[in-house]
Structure 1
Amino acid sequence: MASMNVELRHLRAFVAVARTVNFTRAAEQLHIAQPSLSHTIRQLETALGFRLFARTTRSTALTPDGERFLVEAQAVLDRFDAAMERSSRMAGGELGRLRVGYLIGAAVDHVPAILRAFADRYPDVTLELTEYDFASPNGGLDTGDTDVALVRPPLDGVPDAVTTVLLSERCVACVSALHPFAALPRVTVAQVLAEPIVAAPGDNAWRDYWILASYRSTPANITHEAATFEAELQSVAIGRGLSVVPESVARLYGRQGVRYVPIEGMADCEVAVVHREDAPRSAANFARIAARVTADAGGPHPHG
């Protein structure tokens, strides 16, 4: 075999001529001039060391060597084209796996519909789901364990975060049924600040948000830490302190011994889908579908 780099263009030119057995039609299919096509075939024959076509002024036919080489050339092109298609689909977020984290209690009503809609649109993307408690409010994004997460902002420790807000809801005080607040139609932020409070573990912006740190001039009186709603509600029920929770908790985690009282003057809390800028394209696709599903269901929906 002569020393020459055989390129895909040589193989595509050969296969086009072999399939049409006509240089003129093959050149038209390849959008090149016929002399250029003839030159390409001669280069390939020189590199291979044998004739691919038997040509006369009236006909073109594959030689026996050419017939055998056609099988190999077509296989190479098929494998290359399949690899390129697969790579393109992966780049477009249509193939592979997507690691999804979700914070307990975040968009619970919408998660099944979001997952179904994503699976319908991207059936070749495998979703790996991981639930996180209040000790990991970033949903695995800060540790790199997930590609995208359904969380409740604010987050810290997630550089280059791309955030899509899905819905919002008001915040309420979760208090013991025996607490004086339990009989009130609402409480103020100032009233909440004066009370002992149950907090999430850790030291981060998320914990600060839920203990109303931005409203305080002195540190909160934290009497207990809880990493789940169940642990939090148990602490509240036995009178260790109150907690601040999203209004949906009253519906999703209703139980005896606690009451939920709207907090007047506190901004709504949010649920968002978050991914990093360098996440796989499938993460952005997931965020787009999550936004559509929640919008179709009526969110975002701020409360007064």
Structure 2
Amino acid sequence: MPAMNVELRHLRAFVAVADAANFTRAAEALRIAQPSLSYTIRQLEGQLGFRLLARTTRATSLTPAGETFLVEARAVLARFEEAVGLARRMAVGEVGTLRVGYLIGAVVDLVPAIMRAFADRYPELDVELVEYDFSVPRCGLDTGETDVAIVRPPLELSGVRELTLRTEGCVACVPERHPVAGQTEVDVARLLDEPIVAAPGAGRWRDSWILNDVRDEPATVACEAATFEAELQAVALGRGLSIVPASAGRFYVRPGVRFVPITDLPECTVAVACRADAPPAARNFAEVAVRTAKEAAGHRS
């Protein structure tokens, strides 16, 4: 069978004539000249090799082949419109799959609210949620495992946009018998000679949580812990202290440890981050996350 060059315009023209049963009315509906419409139909019939329409001076009707072709032509046009609509929705981030990472312990009270708000706004998106421990603070953004992530900066990643969700103070997590355990606050200088529990790995993120940014000498690392559970257990056993966000004192209370606010450390941040080349759904998620965080902050105030 020779190759055919049938275009959507041919199908639309044919369906219009079939619906109107008249070339003049069909041309008016398509907003084209009648001679142009007649030429388009002749092109289509020439490509197909058979007649679709029976024309007389009084009426235009479908041939038996035309009746069969009309059903399929309508189906092709409907499927095309469906494909265009689906692709358009994909392009604006309304459908598809979104891979979301989040750092363990980061805004544990806010993550469920963000996920619910996002599901309400984009119900046809399939969201894959992955939790990362302290050994992977970039939460898959650097490897492409995730499209967007809820993280605690600094990430040290180029081409990544960060939007702040929350800021909070830092506290010292110390054994319950530690000399500062009963204090209402403590200066960071008081903590620098103590052994400290660190996240696995290396880099600025780990350094910031073991206070290397404010030390003259590197920290004495007592042990490493990849989760809050492991970290608090190490502190409770007296192996060292740790530096944690203030929210840890609310969500990770454990026997044997105390949380003491640090007066002179900068606040730490939770952010939603995505790469510059992330899919539109990732940017949509970031917008929903920021809006949800602002709403939650308003309710708390």
| TM-score, normalised relative to structure 2 | 0.94
Residues 229-259 of structure 1 deviation map (CA, whole Å, 9 limit, x = unaligned): 1111111112211111000000100012111
In the TM superposition, 1:1-304 aligns within 5 A as 4-156=4-156, 158-298=157-297
Residues 45-77 of structure 1 deviation map (CA, whole Å, 9 limit, x = unaligned): 111122222223332221222111111211222
Output the CA distance in 2 between the equivalents of 1:111 and 1:177. 30
The offset of 1:98, in angstroms, is 1.1
The offset of 1:2, in angstroms, is 7.4
CA contact (8 A) 1:198 1:241 kept: yes
Q: What SS does structure 2 have at the residue aligned with 1:181?
A: coil
The offset of 1:168, in angstroms, is 0.9
Query: Cα RMSD over matched residues?
Result: 2.0
Q: Aligned pair in 2 of structure 1 residues 25, 212: CA closer, same or farther (>3 Å)? A: farther
Q: What SS does structure 1 have at the residue aligned with 2:297?
A: coil
Output the CA distance in 1 between the equivalents of 2:200 and 2:16. 67
CA contact (8 A) 1:2 1:46 kept: no
The offset of 1:269, in angstroms, is 0.7
CA contact (8 A) 2:4 2:48 kept: no
Q: What SS does structure 2 have at the residue aligned with 1:297?
A: helix
Output the CA distance in 2 between the equivalents of 1:214 and 1:300. 34
Amino acid at match of 1:297: A
Q: Aligned pair in 2 of structure 1 residues 2, 184: CA closer, same or farther (>3 Å)? A: closer
| TM-score, normalised relative to structure 1 | 0.93
The offset of 1:301, in angstroms, is 9.1
CA contact (8 A) 1:100 1:146 kept: yes
Which of 211-220 and 49-58 deviates more? 49-58
Q: Aligned pair in 2 of structure 1 residues 25, 166: CA closer, same or farther (>3 Å)? A: farther
Amino acid at match of 1:21: A
Q: What SS does structure 2 have at the residue aligned with 1:61?
A: strand
The offset of 1:299, in angstroms, is 6.5
Q: Aligned pair in 2 of structure 1 residues 209, 115: CA closer, same or farther (>3 Å)? A: same
Q: Aligned pair in 2 of structure 1 residues 129, 263: CA closer, same or farther (>3 Å)? A: same
Amino acid at match of 2:193: A
Q: What SS does structure 1 have at the residue aligned with 2:223?
A: strand
Amino acid at match of 2:99: R
Amino acid at match of 2:267: D
Residue ranges of structure 1 left out of the alignment (5+ in a row): none
Output the CA distance in 2 between the equivalents of 1:133 and 1:60. 71
Q: Aligned pair in 2 of structure 1 residues 143, 5: CA closer, same or farther (>3 Å)? A: same
Q: Aligned pair in 2 of structure 1 residues 164, 211: CA closer, same or farther (>3 Å)? A: same
Aligned pair count reads 301
The offset of 1:186, in angstroms, is 1.2
Output the CA distance in 2 between the equivalents of 1:278 and 1:33. 45
Residues 55-107 of structure 1 deviation map (CA, whole Å, 9 limit, x = unaligned): 23332221222111111211222222222222122222111111111111111
Q: What SS does structure 2 have at the residue aligned with 1:41?
A: helix
Output the CA distance in 1 between the equivalents of 2:13 and 2:158. 49
CA contact (8 A) 1:167 1:299 kept: no
Residue ranges of structure 2 left out of the alignment (5+ in a row): none
